[in-house]
């Protein structure tokens, strides 16, 4: 018997590709729900529980970008998009709407599986238990055991921020290195688990989404500052 690796929603209207991915991932212990219509997929995400979503972009009913945009704030697990090869606009848009990753077509199932494992592992609190659990800088509290981010108000209340798994990991990584300039390639390798190719904008897009959530002014950020041509620094006063 194969161990249960998690429950996935695969949204793909290409029957050959959908069947191949469904069979492959099922063979690797995932429970796969395969849906070909975007609108029906949205209904499933609302009514059922999934550990990760794999979304094609061009779909009947509702496209993958719209699905990602509408569920991103409520769905905390990884979202992986399937994009046409070489379509950089799609790739950028995917990350802008909060997808964690994308795989270019033709989809190589092994590559998809590898990315899926990386993203699911990051979302698993068990995998993070050895790290110290609570980090607080200037009223921003990150708890790596419960994987929550809280922002303290002036009156001392703590508001829980809604961040994705990928945003959480990036924020935690920068805060653990607070006061230190961290290179984009180092962040990339740490977060994505693969080498940096010098063009991927996913880290930059994630930082800009995080700034918004942290209520940090993008034109003059107080917390996550850009270091031109190098990377980022999580700023500390003093």
Which residues are near Ca ion by CB under 5 A? 13, 56, 58
Q: DSSP of 74-130, one letter per residue?
A: T--S-EEEEE-TT-HHHHHHHHHTT-SEEEESSP-HHHHHHHHHHHHHHT-GGGGTT
Give the nearer residue to Ca ion in terms of CB position, either 84 or 118.
Answer: 84
Contacts of 128 (CB under 8 A, 6+ apart): 144, 145, 147
Least distance (Å) between residue 199 CB and Ca ion: 25
Least distance (Å) between residue 113 CB and Ca ion: 20
Least distance (Å) between residue 55 CB and Ca ion: 10
Question: Alpha-carbon distance 13 to 166, whole Å?
Answer: 27
Contacts of 74 (CB under 8 A, 6+ apart): none
CB nearest Ca ion: which residue? Answer: 58
Give the nearer residue to Ca ion in terms of CB position, either 69 or 128.
Answer: 69
State the DSSP H helix or E strand holding residue 152, giving kind and residue range, or none if neither.
Answer: strand 148-152
Give the nearer residue to Ca ion in terms of CB position, either 101 or 167.
Answer: 101
Give the nearer residue to Ca ion in terms of CB position, either 67 or 161.
Answer: 67
Least distance (Å) between residue 54 CB and Ca ion: 12
Is there a contact between 216 and 224 (Cβ–Cβ < 8 Å)? yes
The phi and psi torsions of 158 (rounded to 5 degrees) equal: -115, 120
Least distance (Å) between residue 79 CB and Ca ion: 16
Give the nearer residue to Ca ion in terms of CB position, either 108 or 134.
Answer: 108
């Amino acid at each position: 018997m194969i161990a249960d690796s998690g429950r996935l929603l695969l949204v793909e209207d290409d029957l050959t590709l959908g069947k191949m991915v469904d069979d492959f991932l099922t063979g690797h212990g995932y429970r796969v729900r395969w849906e070909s219509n975007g609108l029906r997929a949205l209904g499933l995400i609302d009514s059922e529980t999934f550990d990760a979503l794999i979304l094609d972009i061009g779909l009947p009913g509702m496209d993958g970008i719209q699905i990602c945009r509408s569920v991103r704030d409520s769905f905390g697990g990884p979202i992986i998009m399937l994009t046409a090869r070489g379509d950089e606009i799609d790739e950028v848009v995917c990350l802008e709407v909060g997808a964690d990753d994308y795989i270019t077509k033709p989809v190589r199932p092994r590559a998809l599986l590898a990315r899926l494992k990386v993203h699911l592992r990051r979302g698993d609190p068990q995998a993070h238990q050895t790290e110290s659990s609570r980090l607080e800088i200037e009223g921003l509290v990150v708890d790596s055991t419960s994987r929550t981010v809280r922002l303290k108000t002036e009156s001392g209340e703590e508001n829980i921020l809604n961040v994705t798994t990928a945003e959480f990991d990036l924020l935690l990584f920068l805060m653990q290195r607070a006061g230190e300039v961290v290179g984009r390639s180092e962040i990339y390798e740490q977060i994505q688990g693969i080498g940096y190719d010098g063009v991927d904008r996913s880290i930059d897009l994630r930082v800009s989404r995080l700034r918004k959530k942290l209520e940090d002014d993008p034109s003059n950020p107080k917390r996550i500052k850009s270091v031109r041509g190098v990377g980022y620094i999580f700023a500390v006063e003093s």
